[in-house]
């Protein structure tokens, strides 16, 4: 004999808050508003017809029907695309609605609308010391949106001010964590040379700070970065000097290889019979002259030797 089928246990409704007291996502308690608006409009017409009877029963019945229609109209509200409504009942969080259009909810609920559109702003240019203690000026652009309306409304006092303040603080903290530039260690992460890693660090830092406000940080990147005016000229000269030294080192390295190849080619010759013998003194003289020609900043003037190499 087949056993009787057992009905599935009821699905528990999500709680208003978790164990940490944080607001959790609520099921949609709203309903389509067009049917309710149509019924309320018909009720208004019925109430007018009852009032027109001018009888005590008609007046009382018309008043009750009109009262019901008025209460229904109170529960109606309109949502635009990328807009949500947060519901509270006598101070208790009752959920949210994110469906655009004419909607209806319990008339006793207090409705508070929140924009879910993507927003962005640029932080103020701040003067702060980098990891090496050099004063720099830094600013960043932050792109964000609300993903948890309950936290945005009830988790913080003002979510806009919260995001702006935390962004300013995160940018300052980021500037103190990295040097602006590194002249000695090329493997160290710098603000000017490793923008991808620095922006990723800023994004993670901001997301951790803004999680309590129900905000998702979509993008965070540095837009303004420079030395402070009081040291900008000195740092520019230092960068120019480093660039000149690096360029000179590269030129000398290439010149040494060219001189070595030239001496080896002259000693080997093209056919074996036209090889040129060099002793150590002649090699030194040839290398010195050729290095001077290659590494010189200005055109060299040849000197014609009418005697021997030793005179």
**265-279 pLDDT, tens digit each:** 777 776 666 677 777
- Same domain membership, residue 131 and residue 96: no
Q: Is 204 helix (H, G, I), strand (E, B) or coil?
A: helix
Q: Which of 130-144, 167-181, 291-305 has the lowest mean pLDDT?
A: 291-305
Answer yes or no: is pLDDT of 36 > 50: yes
Give the SS3 label for residue 150: helix
Please indicate, yes or no, if residue 1 is contained in any of the structural domains. Answer: no
Q: Residue 60's domain spans which residues?
A: 31-113
- Round the average pLDDT of the chain to a whole number and report it: 81
Q: Which residues contact 207 (CB under 8 A, 6 or more apart)?
A: 216, 217
Given 87, 113, 139, which residue is the final one in a domain?
113
Asked whether residue 184 is domain-assigned, the answer is: yes
The beta strands (E) that lie in 2-61 are given as 31-32
Q: What is the pLDDT of residue 19?
A: 37
Name the domain boundary from 227, 251, 270: 227
155 shares a domain with 90? no
218 or 258: whose pLDDT is higher?
Answer: 218
My answer on whether 271 and 211 are in the same domain is no
- CA count, 13 A, side-chain hemisphere, 133: 0
From the list 113, 115, 87, 108, the residue with the least C-alpha distance to 30 is 87
CA dist., res. 213 & res. 146, Å (int): 8
Instruction: Specify whether 168 is located in the same domain as 103.
Output: no
Three-state secondary structure call for residue 306: coil
**CA–CA distances in Å: residue 147 to residues 23, 28, 101, 217, 219:** 12, 15, 20, 10, 15
Tell me whether residue 214 is in a domain: yes
Q: Is the pLDDT of residue 90 over 80?
A: yes
Whether 69 and 140 map to the same domain: the answer is no
Distance between CA 21 and CA 141 in Å, rounded?
32
- What confidence score (pLDDT) does residue 271 get? 67
> Token match 């940080």: residue?
217
Q: What is the mean pLDDT of residues 56-84?
A: 91
223, 163: one domain = yes
* Calpha distance 139→202 (Å, rounded): 12
Say yes or no: 215 and 249 in one domain.
no
Mean pLDDT, to the nearest integer, of 176-194? 81
Question: Does residue 1 register a pLDDT over 60?
Answer: no
Whether 73 shows a pLDDT value over 80: the answer reads: yes
CA triple 122-126-127, angle to 5 deg: 160
> Number of structural domains, the chain?
3
Residues 79 and 160 in one domain: no
How confident is the model at residue 170, as a pLDDT?
93
Q: Are residues 144 and 175 in the same domain?
A: yes
Residue that is last in its domain, among 81, 113, 145: 113
Average the pLDDT over 73-78 and give the result: 92
Six token digits for residue 65: 């029907």
Question: What does the pLDDT look like over 232-242, one tens digit per residue?
Answer: 677 677 677 66
Is 22 contained in some domain?
no
Residues 281 and 242 in one domain: yes
Question: Mean pLDDT: which of 4-18, 135-149, 274-288 is highest?
Answer: 135-149
């Amino acid at each position: 004999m087949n056993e009787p089928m057992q009905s599935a246990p009821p699905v528990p409704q999500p709680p208003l808050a978790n164990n940490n007291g944080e607001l959790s996502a609520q099921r949609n308690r709203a309903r389509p508003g067009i049917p309710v608006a149509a019924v309320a409009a018909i009720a208004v017409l019925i109430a007018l017809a009852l009032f027109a009877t001018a009888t005590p029963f008609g007046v009382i019945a018309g008043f009750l029907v009109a009262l019901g229609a008025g209460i229904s109209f109170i529960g109606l509200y309109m949502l635009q695309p990328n807009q949500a409504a947060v519901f509270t009942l006598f101070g208790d969080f009752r959920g949210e609605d994110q469906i655009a259009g004419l909607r209806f909810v319990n008339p006793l609920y207090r409705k508070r609308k929140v924009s879910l559109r993507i927003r962005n702003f640029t932080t103020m240019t701040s003067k702060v010391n980098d990891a090496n203690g050099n004063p720099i000026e830094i600013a960043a652009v932050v792109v964000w949106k609300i993903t948890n309306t309950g936290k945005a409304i009830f988790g913080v006092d003002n979510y806009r001010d919260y995001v702006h303040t935390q962004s300013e603080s995160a940018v300052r903290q980021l500037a103190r964590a990295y040097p602006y530039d590194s002249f000695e260690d090329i493997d160290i992460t710098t603000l000017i040379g490793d923008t991808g890693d620095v922006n990723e660090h800023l994004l993670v830092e901001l997301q951790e700070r803004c999680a309590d406000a129900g905000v998702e940080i979509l993008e965070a990147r540095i837009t303004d970065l420079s030395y402070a005016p009081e040291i900008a000229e000195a740092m520019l000269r230092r960068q120019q000097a480093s660039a000149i030294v690096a360029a000179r080192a590269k030129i000398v390295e290439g010149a040494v290889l060219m001189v070595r190849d030239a001496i080896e080619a002259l000693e080997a010759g093209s056919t074996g019979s036209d090889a040129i013998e060099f002793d150590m003194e002649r090699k030194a003289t040839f290398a010195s002259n050729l290095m001077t020609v290659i590494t010189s900043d200005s055109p060299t003037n040849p000197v014609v030797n009418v005697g021997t190499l030793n005179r």
